[in-house]
């Protein structure tokens, strides 16, 4: 069912889950949610006008989190997924305080599963500069400190390269090579992708890290967490899963719709060629 949005000229789905990220990174989480929750619909906002979040002052990201959450709530989304580690670190607490009684699922680097998986006792985390510097991340690392030594490595510039279409793989490999060499030299045998953009270059990270290193991403665990939250709130869609994926998402960008669509098709595949991306001015 389509309803008229609070924003003139924009059509959205009723009873859907709102999702946002600074850009295409959130698509790695959306893909997992579409597969894991086949009866759910989503509204996805790429906040590309403000990309990258990873190097901006914390208060600017918190402001964006509040603006985007307010908008998604006004679209009558039944829940929200912050498909961005940086935004979760900067604004999950504030978003939850502003929207009591509205399920909000955030995303954090998978330090716990990595700490339980490592055999060498050393875990590498790749994330944005802001995530690594955040109090939330420091708290997370402290909690699992007794289990494993955690080495966090910011990757400035990587998000901007992943946002290019097509992705410049040689430049991405050149950026990642010294990072991974350092983590391997320090004996890390598990590497966590602590930014939702990075799963799109997981194949390059695995290639550079070699077969003895496990690379962990968080799309599926977030999808599972969303299901648990929706179930516990009585909000899980029990209807039939019969719609093609392309009909289950409304896409919005605060940047350029055509450019976002090109990236979306490059990253998720040609099944998405007919998708409509709407411009959002918030």
Under the rule (CB under 6 A), what is the footprint of ligand DGL? 21-22, 25, 51-54, 84-86, 128, 131, 159, 195-197
Q: From the CB of 200, what's the least distance to ligand DGL, in Å?
A: 10
3-state DSSP call for residue 69? helix
- Residue closer to ligand DGL (CB basis): 118 or 131: 131
- H or E element: which one contains 174? helix 169-185
- Residue closer to ligand DGL (CB basis): 5 or 86: 86
Q: From the CB of 282, what's the least distance to ligand DGL, in Å?
A: 17
Nearest C-alpha neighbor of 72 from the set 7, 162, 144: 7
Helix (DSSP H) and strand (DSSP E) numbers for the chain: 11, 12
Q: Of 34, 51, 81, 84, which is the active-site residue? A: 84
Q: From the CB of 22, what's the least distance to ligand DGL, in Å?
A: 3
- Residue closer to ligand DGL (CB basis): 184 or 191: 191
Q: From the CB of 39, what's the least distance to ligand DGL, in Å?
A: 26
- Residue closer to ligand DGL (CB basis): 196 or 253: 196
Decide if 155 is catalytic: no
Q: Of 77, 195, 216, 249, which is the active-site residue? A: 195
Active-site amino acid positions:
84, 195
């Amino acid at each position: 069912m389509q309803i008229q949005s609070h924003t003139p000229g924009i059509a959205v789905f009723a009873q859907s889950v709102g999702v946002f990220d600074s850009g295409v990174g959130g698509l790695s989480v959306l893909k997992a949610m579409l597969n894991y929750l086949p009866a759910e619909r989503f509204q996805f906002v790429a906040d590309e006008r403000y990309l990258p979040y990873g190097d901006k002052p914390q208060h600017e990201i918190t402001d964006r989190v509040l603006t985007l959450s307010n908008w998604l709530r006004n679209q009558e989304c039944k829940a929200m997924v912050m498909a961005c580690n940086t935004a979760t670190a900067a604004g999950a607490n504030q978003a939850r305080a502003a929207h009591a009684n509205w399920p909000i699922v955030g995303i954090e680097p998978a330090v716990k599963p990595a700490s339980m998986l490592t055999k060498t006792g050393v875990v590498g985390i790749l994330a944005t500069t802001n995530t690594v510097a955040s109090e939330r991340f420091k708290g997370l690392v402290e909690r699992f400190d007794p289990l494993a030594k955690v080495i966090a490595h910011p990757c400035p510039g990587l998000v901007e390269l992943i946002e290019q279409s097509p992705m410049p793989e040689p430049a991405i490999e050149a950026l990642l090579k010294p990072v991974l060499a350092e983590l391997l030299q320090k004996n890390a045998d598990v590497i966590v992708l602590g930014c939702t953009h990075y799963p799109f270059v997981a194949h390059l990270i695995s290639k550079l890290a070699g077969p003895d290193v496990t690379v962990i991403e968080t799309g599926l665990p977030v999808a599972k967490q969303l299901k648990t939250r929706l179930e516990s709130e009585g909000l899980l869609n029990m209807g039939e899963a019969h719609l093609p994926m392309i009909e289950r998402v409304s896409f919005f960008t605060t940047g350029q719709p055509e450019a976002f669509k090109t990236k979306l098709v490059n990253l998720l595949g040609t099944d998405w060629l007919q998708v409509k991306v709407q411009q959002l001015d918030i």
